[in-house]
Amino acid sequence: MMPSDLPLHNPVYAGCYAWGRRQVDQRRKAPGRPSTGRVVKDSTQWLVMLPGRLPAYITEQEYEANLARMAANQQTAAVPGAPRDGAALLSGLLRCGRCGGHRMSVRYPDGSGAGRARSVHGYACAFYQANYGTGGTCQHVSGPALDGYITSQVLEAVAPAALEVSMAAASQAEDERAMLDKLWRQRVERARYAAGRTRRQYQLAEPENRLVTRQLEADWEAALAEAARLEADYQRFTEEGPAVLTTAERTAIQALAGDLPRVWHAPTTTQADRKELLRILIQDITVNVAGDSEIVDVTITWAGGHQTTGQAVRPVGRLDQLTYFPALLARVTELADAGRSNGQIADTLNTEGFRPPKRTSRFTGEQVRALITQRGIRRQAKGRPTVLTSLPPGQWSVPGLAAELGMPVPTIYTWIYRGWITRPPRPRKPVLDHHRRRPAATRTTPAQGTPARLLHPSSMGPARTRNRQ
Ligand SMILES: [Zn+2]
């Protein structure tokens, strides 16, 4: 048997009679070897193809599906840059939830199919782009985030505890079925009894009572028909019943489930193995990015048709794409107002479960500083911000002085510009030196120690910025 003649390829298993599948290609014929040069032709070129002529082991649809699946597998292997052992775990499984279930394709890190190079693989639906040449990709999800989410879902679904639940549900279903079966048998029994009784009544009737016997005969016939109908229905009920797992099968499944996480993460398990396993367990996965945010709604259709839904989190480019951006902004403002340093704010955010965009997992003080600058969050602490305690007496940072005097930050910069307060050349962060105006360089509260002119700038010049709070 040639490799291409494996049961899945041969149409005879679908009940089709075919002739001329292999034809001789003269160009491939080796001189002096009569059996060479035969090639398997595409089904459209077969000489004879008669469906439904032979007993079928699989339906024609199953046969077609097999061929399509094999072709798909072959294509995956043949596409350059997409090795079978590639990093993308979900290739071929993803469908786009935005444009009606079109297949999503894999984008590999080399940037194939996309403008700029990517550092990790991703999944994209390019339906509109490919078919109408308009717009960008329909949606794009970073690969590692989605791969990780699906893996966790699969391992969770086959975890021993989860299996315990589904097996308990299955045995409950079996119990219910046993009860139904009992009811069915009782109904059939009653119908048979009724048929027997009408038969006896008919047999006991005096033959001269023709009208009575005719009626009894009709009753008997009806009872027989009813019993036959119920028996047929009961037969169908038993045939439709799902296969019941044997104890040995249950034990095997449980052992396998306990092993799966270990097998999944084992260094000897290849990505191709994992893909294979996913394809056994999962029929397809529909993903839908919520707006432009980090949330991805995921619907997994498991083999057998059962669906589960959940949310994965994808990295996004900007902070304001995050669904919790308003909450984040409010928290940062609150913490800044309380006089926390950027580093402290970052730590608090991390502890409270806020996550930055992109692929970093923790906020840094630098990110917080950038956010505070961009969004114009100012420290308007009632007391002196704790960060300032490290500065030598008589010196303030710009926000510190603004807080100290209760003035807007831009006003302080205006004063620096006019030379009313000085800023030392180093360090680069504006640290204000008060000495020029007030040689007594002790730390003072604004009410006592700040020069009256600083507290009331309007008396010295324009106060444009004063009320811009
Ligand atoms: Zn789409």
Q: Where are the domains of the chain?
A: 1-78, 161-242, 319-374, 386-459
Q: Is the dihedral of CA 21, 23, 29, 34 positive or negative?
A: positive
Distance 379 CA to ligand 1 centre (A): 45
Find the 288 Cα to ligand 1 centroid distance in Å.
9
CB under 8 A, 24+ apart: contacts of 198-205: 198/222, 198/223, 199/223
**Cα–chain-centroid distance for residue 246?**
34
3-state secondary structure of 282: strand
CB atoms within 5 A of ion ligand 1 belong to 96, 98-99, 125, 127, 138
Q: What local confidence, expressed as pLDDT, does residue 442 receive? A: 38
Confidence of residue 449 (pLDDT cuts 50, 70, 90): very low
List, in order, residues 6 or more apart from 207 with CB less than 8 Å away: 213
Distance CA 203, CA 326 (A): 89
240-269 residue pLDDT tens: 876 677 788 778 877 877 788 888 888 888
421-444 pLDDT tens trace: 776 655 444 445 444 444 333 343
Rounded to whole angstroms, the Cα distance separating 286 from 301 reads 8
CA of 95 from ligand 1 middle (Å) equals 8
Average pLDDT over residues 214-241: 91
Ligand 1 centre distance from Cα of residue 105 (Å)? 10
How much distance in Å is there from the Cα of 124 to the middle of ligand 1?
8
Specify whether the CB–CB gap between 324 and 354 falls below 8 A: yes
Distance 289 CA to ligand 1 centre (A): 10
**Ligand 1 mean position, distance from CA 74 (Å):** 24
Q: CA-to-CA distance for 363 and 112, rounded, in angstroms?
A: 31
Say how many Å lie between the CA of residue 184 and the centre of ligand 1. 50
- 319-329 pLDDT per residue, tens: 888 888 888 88
